[in-house]
Amino acid sequence: MKRVTGIGGVFLRCKDPEAMKAWYKKHLGIDAGPYGATFRWRDGEKDDQSGHTAWTVYPAGNAYFGSGPQGCMINYRVDDLEALLAVLKEEGVQLDGDMEAYDYGKFGWVIDPEGNRVELWEPHEAVYASMADAEKS
């Protein structure tokens, strides 16, 4: 079974999200709106499909990162989240919360050996279709 297929997003926890977005825009050219920035790319194994990686900042106290003090969280793309979570649980990996499903995919979380929350994302096929449509226009 394939496990991680790529990086779906990088999330930073910071004291002043607006100042952080302004700094990244000015110095690194990342133009983040209310939901962050999106980097689009082509899947090397599926040339007909495009994907994206999100970049977003969150307020320092935001609970989305879990209860630990970590300053960033990486979202990893996966092919079959439910099967992977079952295997990880069998392997003794600590799951964090229940899997959640939305129109744009399924999400699950695990805790790494240092106590960091790690996000796993199985994109919904509609995500690929909408991105391909956007690239054509």
Domain extent, residue 17, equals 4-136
pLDDT confidence of 130, banded at 50, 70, 90? low
Q: What's residue 46's pLDDT? A: 67
Segments of 15-137 assigned E as strands: 37-42, 50-59, 72-78, 94-95, 100-102, 105-111, 117-123
| Cross-strand partners of 101 | 106
* The overall pTM is greater than 0.85: no
Domain count, the chain: 1
pLDDT at 129 over 80: no
Instruction: Supply the CATH number for residue 101's domain.
Output: 3.10.180.10
